[in-house]
Amino acid sequence: TLTGPRRAFFNWSSLCSRGFRVGISGQYPLVQNMTVTEGGTANLTCRVEYNDNTSLQWSNPAQQTLFFGDKKALRDNRIELVHASWSELTISISDVTLSDEGMYTCSLFTMPVRTAKAYLTVLGVPEKPEIDGLTKPAMEGDHITLTCMTQGSKPAADLRWFRNEKEIKGAKEVNASGKTFTVRSSLQLHVDRNDDGVAYTCKVDHVALTQTPQQATEVLEVHYAPRVDIIHSLAVPQEGQYLKLECVSKGNPSPDPVKWTKDGGELPDLDRMIVEGRELTFTSLNKTDNGTYRCEAGNHLGTSSAEYVLYVYDAPTTPPPSTTPPLHPIPPDPTALLGTHASDPTVTGNRDPNAVGQHGTDHALIGGVVAVVVFVTLCLIIVLGRYLARHKGTYLTNEAKGADDAPDADTAIINAEGNHAHAEEKKEYFI
């Protein structure tokens, strides 16, 4: 029996005396490379397809014999025999460490000795990452650097950053430390109020982490000055109505309480103007409420304010239409609704007197007729004026033509006819 950490030496005479024979063609040991996670168990198997009762042996990277057949040669409680026969030798190494990595040799003691080598790869499990550089609380506008680090990985691990659920890119740095690696990843941040409450997560990706990935998470707390806005319940406030103004302020730390003022001074009527927390309520508006209302909120980082200009309109003079349905509603005429939508007022006959387009056609027709009458009248006036202007002049009767030196009308007519040829004719020229 071979014991102790020393390498076993044999001579061929002793092998032959113990039954070892010269190998025949095809007697070769068969092995496979193995990969195991640090702390796990590695099973090394050596098989021979054709064996004539020749012994098998496993040795470690330091060429120390582990098992010779079914005989344990190295005192190491982690190494156990799994199966031993003329055709197979399987051993196991539990609680594997990085120092166990290397080339393992299976030997078949024929003449000559035939060997096969299997490489055992040990994966270094990365440690849980740690995030450094986070200041609590951070101030809006600060520049900070988050650094995530993990040690003990083999091969080097990969680090990934996430802002909530969205992946973001960091700067990676890898340093060797013996057989393992130390990996760092840094993230530059310009802090603003949107980072308040955001979770930054660093995850480790590694081949040795098959089920539960290693990760670390830090939630960023950001302090910032408040911002204020006013929300009003009425778009058009009128006399007698109820109005509520809400002062919405967002800051960290929370800006409590808020302060309400009117036109730069205190609220004048606290009976109708009720302040409850962030809300200013008017139970019944009137004209004296007109003015500029300011809401102011602050914390140790600053103060912010918002204004609302209130103008109270007159209450409507016409009562609103009754919403109570009639006791005996009149059913609509089905013939009027045939082929039309029931809500069309032009079909049902229930015209809205305030509707804008219902009498538009009649007004347009009347306007057109009036325009035509006016145009025709103007044309007649122009034509008549031109006609009268063309026929303007002096016209003489036959009696008037011979009236000069005539004692009576008959003589005037005879003189007019006789002197017609010598008389200067009056002519009219039409242009």
How far apart CA 228 and CA 246 sit, in angstroms, is 10
Q: Which domain holds residue 84?
A: 29-122
Extract long-range pairs of 22-26: CB within 8 Å, 24+ residues apart: 22/110, 22/111, 23/54, 23/108, 23/110, 23/111, 23/112, 23/114, 24/50, 24/52, 24/110, 26/50
Q: Same structural domain for residues 143 and 178? A: yes
User: Do 104 and 163 belong to one domain?
Assistant: no
Residue-by-residue pLDDT tens, the chain, 431 positions: 333 333 333 333 333 333 333 344 457 899 999 999 999 999 999 999 877 778 899 999 999 999 999 999 998 999 999 999 988 999 999 999 999 999 999 999 888 899 999 999 999 999 999 999 988 899 999 999 999 999 999 999 999 999 999 999 999 999 998 899 999 999 999 999 999 999 999 999 999 987 777 899 999 999 999 999 999 999 999 999 999 999 998 999 988 788 999 998 888 888 888 898 889 999 999 999 999 999 999 998 889 999 999 999 998 876 555 545 554 444 444 333 333 333 333 333 344 433 334 444 567 788 888 889 999 999 999 988 888 877 665 555 555 555 556 566 566 556 655 554 444 444 444 44
Domain contains 265: yes
Q: H/E/C letters for each residue in 36-80?
A: EECCCCEEEEEEECCCCCCCEEEECCCCCEEEECCEECCCCCCEE
Cα separation, 57 vs 59, in Å, equals: 7
Give the pLDDT of residue 424.
Answer: 46
Residue type, 313: Y
Looking at the DSSP bridge assignments, the partners of residue 259 are 296
- Structural domain includes residue 178: yes
> Does 212 share its domain with 289?
no
Within this chain, do residues 92 and 70 fall inside the same structural domain, yes or no?
yes
Q: Do strands 102-108 and 114-123 pair parallel, antiparallel, or not at all (unpaired)? A: antiparallel
Q: Which residues of 40-73 are buried (b: 16+ CB within 10 A; e: fewer)?
A: eebebbbbbeebeebbbbbbbeeebbbbbbeebb
pTM of the model: 0.58
In this structure, the answer to whether residues 202 and 140 fall within a common structural domain is: yes
Closest CA to 280 of 227, 228, 232: 232
pLDDT at 332: 45
**Gap between the Cα atoms of 178 and 9, Å rounded:** 33
Q: Give yes or no: residues 68 and 152 share one domain.
A: no
Residue 282 forms part of a structural domain: yes
Tokens of 244: 């509520």
pLDDT of amino acid 322: 54
Whether residues 50 and 103 share a domain: the answer is yes
DSSP one-letter code for 265? B
Q: Does residue 34 form part of some domain?
A: yes
pLDDT at 11: 38
Residue 390: the pLDDT is 75
CA distance 245 to 237: 12
Give the residue among 307, 201, 196 at the shortest CA–CA distance from 245: 307
Question: Could you tell me if 226 and 297 are in contact, meaning their C-beta atoms sit under 8 angstroms apart?
Answer: yes
Tally the domains of the chain.
3
Return the amino acid letter for 396.
L
Domain shared by 192 and 229, yes or no: no
* Residue 382 in domain: no
Q: Do 151 and 118 share a structural domain?
A: no
In a domain, 269, yes or no: yes
**Is residue 49 in a domain?**
yes
Do 113 and 178 lie in one domain? The reply is no
Examine the domain organization and report whether 141 and 108 are in the same domain. no
Domain for residue 200, yes or no? yes
Furthest CA-CA distance within the chain? 199
Domain boundary (88, 122, 156) is at 122
CATH assignment at residue 236: 2.60.40.10
pLDDT value of position 167: 95
Mark which of 310, 333, 358 sits at the end of a domain: 310
Give the pLDDT of residue 352. Answer: 41
- Domain end (from 73, 97, 122): 122
pLDDT on residue 396:
55
